[in-house]
Chain A
Amino acid sequence: MKPPAFDYLRAGSISDVVEGLAQQGGDARVLAGGQSLMAMLNMRLAKPKLLIDIMRIKELRQIERKNDAVVIGAGVRQADLLAWPDLAEALPLVALALPWVGHVQTRSRGTICGSLAHADPSAEMPLALVALGGEVLLRNARRRRRVAAKDFFAGMMLTARADDELIEGISLPVIKGSRVAFREVARRHGDFAIVACAAMKTPNGVRLAVGGVADVPTARDWPRLEGSALDDALNAFAYELGARDDVHATARYRRDLVRMIGRDLIREVLQ
């Protein structure tokens, strides 16, 4: 339960980070809040040769409102975003989901982008990113690129980030007057979700995003559905997610949760 040996680089600028990543590639890992990565190191599920600590880089610590989007830097802690005065107005879905991420004692250190980089299929922030249709801002030593949420998560704990790329931040759209809802079922508050769902009213109907069932958080858009048409759509979606049995819950229970929570949340946002 002790981490393997690695070099530790305290980066002073973004160029320190991307140069370190360029040199060391897949053997380097970016260390932000450490709430996922340090546990992986302690359990030796990750064995990097170099850790690049980005938390002393001031320009990564910003939350910026840009017209119709909010840009959250890689060094923004979950507690920083929860304390941001505009959160409920600009990002109501994130305001609902964020208190479900870990505990007070881990949100104080853990970052938003770190949770996305870790890409646990049950985690709340990846679900929120997919539900909102946000973008991940990636950067290496040569170029920057933006990847849409649905293309970012490639599998269980796998993302589209290349070994030499830093997640510089994310951009989340501000959707004016949107009705949103979030609910999660876990054995204890603060645990990873067995199933977590986010719903949002869209101009043409409704979007439901589900975490904890498929290998990646998955969103589906429907026109305004009611009654048995809604039940049928939810049932088909629940099966398409390919739920599996594990120590936490059976596949059948997960499908039940998708159907029941999905219906409740969709009614709530369409009401």
Chain B
Amino acid sequence: MTRLKADRRHAVRFSLNGKPVEAEAEPRMLLSDFLRHQLGATGTHVGCEHGVCGACTVVVDGMLTRSCLTLAAQVDGCELKTVEGIAPSADRLGVLQQAFRRNHALQCGFCTAGILMSLDHYLGKNPNPTEAEIRDLLSGHICRCTGYTPIIQAALDAAAELTSKKETSDA
């Protein structure tokens, strides 16, 4: 049992995109704010702060997670993946990100980080999704620019490319 006092800062440690990180947080600090302000990982965006818009979605121990509905203290010792962990290197886009670019699946980009996290997580488990499945997944995100159609196209496009790459590398 660990009790963290309200008026103090406490060390929070976890693995972020494969690297150990540590910073201090009051118990009330949201994971979204911890990532952005304490760790400087500003790829994760903050929209509604009550779990509706999906912009702040990250992956914690393999679970899609609204970082605005999660306390930094809750993920102590966990493994986190954020949008910074999707690209193969800092100057290259991953397959899903390239598909977003090709299909004009973003305009202002505010919602994009969260949507990329949901799709990256989903395609990892379901390599051949149907359009209906992608639509159901995207119902957990709000995008006010695109009308969603290009995002669905990008997701299906990325799924097809990932599947064909896997087949080529398996052969």
Could you tell me which A residues sit within 8 Å of B by CB distance?
Answer: 1-13, 16, 31, 34-35, 38-39, 41-43, 49, 51, 53, 55, 77, 79, 102-106, 108-109, 188-190
CB-CB nearest 5 A-B residue pairs: A103-B140, A8-B27, A105-B140, A38-B69, A1-B49
Q: A8-B3, A109-B65 are in contact. Are A2 and B28 (CB under 8 A)?
A: yes
- Contact B70 A10, beta carbon cutoff 8 Å: no
- Given A11-B1, A109-B70, 13 extra CB contacts under 8 A: A5-B27, A6-B6, A7-B6, A8-B3, A9-B3, A31-B74, A51-B71, A79-B63, A104-B122, A105-B118, A105-B140, A105-B141, A108-B63
Which interface residue of A3, A10, A53, A105 has the most chain B CB atoms within 10 A?
A105
Residue of A nearest to B68 (CB): A42
> Is the C-beta of B73 less than 8 angstroms from some C-beta in chain A?
yes
- Contact B30 A3, beta carbon cutoff 8 Å: yes
Which interface residue of B5, B6, B51, B57 has the most chain A CB atoms within 10 A?
B51
Which residues in chain B, 124-139, are within 8 Å of chain A measured between CB atoms? 136-137, 139
Q: A2-B28, A5-B7, A79-B63 are in contact. Are A35 and B1 (CB under 8 A)?
A: no
Residues on B with beta carbons closer than 8 Å to the beta carbon of A43: 50
Residues on B with beta carbons closer than 8 Å to the beta carbon of A102: 140
Complex: how many Å from CA A41 to CA B6?
14
Which interface residue of A5, A38, A41, A79 has the most chain B CB atoms within 10 A?
A38
- Contact A104 B51, beta carbon cutoff 8 Å: no
Residues on A with beta carbons closer than 8 Å to the beta carbon of B93: none
Complex: how many Å from CA A128 to CA B26?
38
Residues on A with beta carbons closer than 8 Å to the beta carbon of B66: 35, 105-106, 109
Chain A binding surface SS class: loop
Residues on B with beta carbons closer than 8 Å to the beta carbon of A105: 54, 57, 64-66, 118, 140-141
Nearest Cβ distance between residue A82 and chain B, in whole angstroms? 13
Complex: how many Å from CA A108 to CA B63?
6
- Contact B140 A190, beta carbon cutoff 8 Å: yes
> Is the C-beta of B21 less than 8 angstroms from some C-beta in chain A?
no
- Contact A5 B73, beta carbon cutoff 8 Å: no
Nearest Cβ distance between residue B76 and chain A, in whole angstroms? 8
> Is the C-beta of B168 less than 8 angstroms from some C-beta in chain A?
no
- Contact A9 B139, beta carbon cutoff 8 Å: no
7 inter-chain pairs at a CB distance below 8 angstroms, sorted by A residue, are A6-B6, A6-B27, A7-B27, A9-B3, A10-B2, A105-B140, A188-B139
Which residues in chain B, 46-101, are within 8 Å of chain A measured between CB atoms? 49-51, 54, 57, 63-66, 68-71, 73-74, 76
Nearest Cβ distance between residue A3 and chain B, in whole angstroms? 5
Complex: how many Å from CA A1 to CA B68?
10
- Contact A53 B51, beta carbon cutoff 8 Å: no
Which residues in chain B, 112-165, are within 8 Å of chain A measured between CB atoms? 118, 122, 136-137, 139-141
Which interface residue of A11, A16, A51, A77 has the most chain B CB atoms within 10 A?
A51
Residue of A nearest to B54 (CB): A105
Which interface residue of B6, B7, B70, B118 has the most chain A CB atoms within 10 A?
B6
